[in-house]
Structure 1
Amino acid sequence: MLDFFIQKDKELLIFLNNLGSEQWDPFWLLITKQLYWTPLFLLILYLIFKSFGFKKGGFVILSIVLLITFSDQFINIIKDFFGRLRPNNDPSINYLLRNLINPQSFSFTSGHATTSTFFSVFIILLLKNHYKYICFLLLFPLIFGYSRVYLGVHYPLDIFAGYILGASLSVLYFKLFSVAFKKLFI
């Protein structure tokens, strides 16, 4: 049964990856780099300090730094445990893909999808009572995750699992954050 899902995952990756074209490659190469999302991060930073002030906002930022650090390290443990080759390194399919970058680490689960979802859901939970349209922040992990499939460096299931893991971790982390926040500031 697992082999069936892995095969379908490979087929879906090949299909989605081959929808790409040279004219769109620069766009997706730009999208996949965290640095180019800086304006979004600066907007979120502004919204946090506007909503919580300097002292509470500083605690929120520290919490986000811990969130990202934890997510990054946790994903490395998961990747090393499963040891799934990235599609660009998998000799059974890499010749069928449009490979634009060649990372060498393992594939399951996607760090981009996990951390961006973890971050986005946490920010949504944090700011949902302050900003009506904050849920649009979910576009960030969706676009960010798809860029990894487009570039041929993650399977769709790696991305999907990253979304699920990131959302789950975010809900748990937000509960812990809320307890700490109340003890410190209320």
Structure 2
Amino acid sequence: MIQLDEQLFLWLNNLGSANWDWLWLFMTNKFNMIPLYIVLLIVSFRHLGWQKGFLFLVAIALLITGTDQVTNLFKDGFERLRPCHNEDIAPLMRLVKKSCGGAYGFFSGHASNSFALATFFTVFFRKQFPAMKWLFFWAAVVAYSRVYVGVHFPLDIFCGAVYGIMIGWIIARMSFRVLEP
């Protein structure tokens, strides 16, 4: 399975082109997503009001903190090198980012966080804002960007997405019971 993951990574990563690197570097930079996060918070506060909106914000903070911490536990526990740190893979790939990041990449924090947020907002506001499901497209683009720039294997992305969806669903259901929009 690892060998297949490495081959898939090399194929996907080498599909890239210098003409498109700017787009994927933009998508992989978490700070470039701040406008999206602000819009989501404005929509949430307008719909929930200040008191419930604040509790909603606390739920999001718990979601992201929990996702990040579990991701770090997995990275330190599995110690799977990122492609750009793997001596067998690094010479064959395109590293689009200036830096590779930490040594370990299983599983992707970008994938788990973006899919957790997409799931959380989609489940919580499923009746009020059905268009929230488009956040899954955004999450998939962010997740793929990590393969494109050369810092994660596809399996890192897949497992991060699965974990993000699970934790996003759990926190959304718990929050819904308390806040019912």
TM value normalised by structure 2: 0.94
Select 2:149's aligned residue among 139, 148, 151: 151
One-letter amino acid matched to 1:25: D
Mapped to 2, the partners of 1:112 and 1:168 lie a distance apart of 15
Select 2:85's aligned residue among 76, 89, 95: 89
> Counterparts in 2 of 1:15-34, with a 5 A limit?
15-34=11-30
Mapped to 2, the partners of 1:13 and 1:123 lie a distance apart of 30
- Are residues 1:59 and 2:58 paired? no
How far the C-alpha of 1:34 sits from its partner, in A, is: 1.0
How far the C-alpha of 1:38 sits from its partner, in A, is: 1.5
Q: Give 5+ residue unaligned stretches, structure 2.
A: none
Helix, strand or coil: the match of 1:105? coil
Q: Which residue of 1 aligns with 2:111?
A: 113
Select 2:46's aligned residue among 24, 44, 50: 50
How far the C-alpha of 1:163 sits from its partner, in A, is: 0.9
Q: Which moves more between the two structures, 10-19 or 97-106?
A: 97-106
Mapped to 2, the partners of 1:42 and 1:95 lie a distance apart of 40
Mapped to 1, the partners of 2:176 and 2:75 lie a distance apart of 29
Q: Which residue of 1 aligns with 2:129?
A: 131
One-letter amino acid matched to 1:23: N
Q: Which residue of 1 aligns with 2:102?
A: 104
How far the C-alpha of 1:26 sits from its partner, in A, is: 1.2
Q: Give 5+ residue unaligned stretches, structure 1.
A: none
Q: Which residue of 1 aligns with 2:158?
A: 160
Q: Which residue of 2 aligns with 1:122?
A: 120
How many positions carry a matched residue from both structures?
A: 179
Select 1:172's aligned residue among 170, 173, 179: 170
Cα RMSD, aligned residues only: 1.4
Mapped to 1, the partners of 2:58 and 2:169 lie a distance apart of 17
Helix, strand or coil: the match of 2:18? coil
Select 1:68's aligned residue among 51, 60, 64: 64
Is the 8 Å Cα contact of residues 27 and 142 (structure 2) preserved in structure 1? yes
Mapped to 2, the partners of 1:58 and 1:105 lie a distance apart of 36
